[in-house]
Amino acid sequence: MVNITHKTNTLRTAIAQSVVRVSSQETIDRIVNKQIPKGDVFEMAKTAGLFAAKKTSDVIPDCHPLPIEFTKITFEIEDLDIIINTEIHTIYKTGVEVEAMYASSVVAITMYDMLKPVDKSIEIVNTKLIEKKGGKTDYQKIASHVNVGVIVCSDSISAGEKTDRSGKIIMEKMKAFEANVTDYTIIPDEIEAIRTTINLMEAKGCQLILITGGTGLSPKDLTPEAVLPLLDKEIPGIVEAIRSYGQQRTPYSMLSRSVAGFKNETLIIALPGSTNGVSESIDAVFPALFHVFRVRNFFKHNEE
């Protein structure tokens, strides 16, 4: 199965649809009047769909077992078509569109099985996804309007003694979210160098500045000391989310001194310098964090 350990739990919803087509109005009438020999078609098929939703990972190899927290199966009759809609919710790391489609399909097959003794010309017309919400696709439209600057704070990398990996990980992840990485620079871990680079990136229009390095416990780790005085408004929840996510993977995450907040209209986040630390920090808060730009734009628009 695909590795989803790096993802965070969010509300995921999906609606899928199947259509069963019968050959006569007589079949429709018998369904509605509960005159099918095998029993109440709608109730039996609905029950089968509920079982199917919870058992999807047992029959679809790449589907992860996940908590199904809500399932709703409804029926509509349009002429000789019976339209099955299945809505599923979960709070988990991956979506439920396959679960919704599988449940709708099983509902349709159950109806076919119950109706075949009285109607030899039934067909299952289609099964399709109607809607899905949750996950990174909800944020890509926002991210595509965000200009990102990446700062690597490291004495050894800036001196050419080592090569940068953490900054490149940030850029790869931002590009995967379809954000615009417009600036990338490597500087020594020095307070004035950090502040000057932040000011330059802000002046060039970066709405998000991600800094990697200098958040550890060494006397030379000065990124928080450089960043904090520049912030107009801290956002402690970002750092809390990063630490909580990291704590589930390694106890060492409690030693990070990450900081986050706004300088005017620019969001600045100081992240760990290690490759694992920076990668996990990005996974912990993105792409959901792009929502902050939607919120800021809303308030800015209303103030104007």
Q: Which residues are catalytic?
A: 113
Which residue from 183, 170, 38, 185 is spatially nearest to 115, judged by alpha carbons?
38
Entry field: residues in the chain: 304
Distance CA 127, CA 108 (A): 9
Residue 62 CB contacts under 8 Å (≥ 6 apart), including other chains: 1, 2
> Phi and psi at residue 123, in whole multiples of 5°?
-135, 145
**Tokens, residue 21:** 């087509």
| Distance (Å, whole) CA 215 – CA 193 | 15
Residue spans of beta strands (DSSP E) within the chain: 10-21, 70-78, 81-92, 123-133, 147-153, 180-187, 208-212, 233-234, 259-263, 266-271
User: Is the bond into 287 cis (omega within 30 degrees of 0)?
Assistant: yes
Q: How far apart are CA 224 and CA 270, in angstroms?
A: 7
Starting at the edge strand found earlier in the chain, the sheet holding 180-187 runs: 180-187, 147-153, 208-212, 266-271, 259-263, 233-234
